[in-house]
Amino acid sequence: MATQTYNANPTLFAPSSQSFRKNNADTLWLKHSDTDSEEDEDESPIDAQEVFDLLRSINDPEHPLTLEELKVLSRDQVTVEGNHVTVEFTPTTPACGMANVIGLAIMVRLYRSLPQRYKVRIGMTPGSHQHVAQVTKQLNDKERVAAAMEVDAIMESINNCLSTAGRRGEK
């Protein structure tokens, strides 16, 4: 889907030395059903480090590098307050044409991984993109997200980004 390169020479950053939480390798996506609601109430709350660990190995849509390696996403950009998860990401350039795909990949990863009781909000760091408000509004509009997820080409891009998400920071 990405025929135009928006950042041909991105700056590469070293991943955080923060320890990674290990999950069973078979659980790329955590599965929860409607019948798990009573169990969900007894589970320990998820913290920002756990959410960041879910997201840090997502690949950039243009480069074979992770969002963490490109500093599109860092631990400080993830907050969890009760059942509300907020993720703010920083595109590599102010004119990044892949900002929507990056945001959708983050959203899909969290929808597939977190229990349904969590409300997710995705945004961009203020001033990091020429269309911060517009993209943030689109990413948090459930109808637009659902419509985007019905487009095969967009889902192919998202799934390509998520193909490495199970590594959770490992090389």
* Cross-strand bridge partners of residue 40: none
Higher pLDDT, 108 or 31: 108
Secondary structure element (H or E) that encloses residue 105, with its range? helix 99-113
109-131 per-position pLDDT tens digit: 999 999 999 999 999 999 999 99
Cβ-in-10-Å burial (0-12, 13-18, 19+) of 166 comes to middle
Mean pLDDT of 30-46: 54
Give residue-wise pLDDT tens across range 67-96. Answer: 999 999 999 999 999 999 999 999 999 999
Q: Are 70 and 6 in contact (CB under 8 A)?
A: no
Domains of the chain: 44-167 (3.30.300.130)
**Distance from C-alpha of 125 to C-alpha of 103, rounded to nearest angstrom:** 12
- What interhelical angle do 152-162 and 142-149 show, nearest 10? 90
- Percent of the chain whose predicted confidence (pLDDT) is above 90: 68
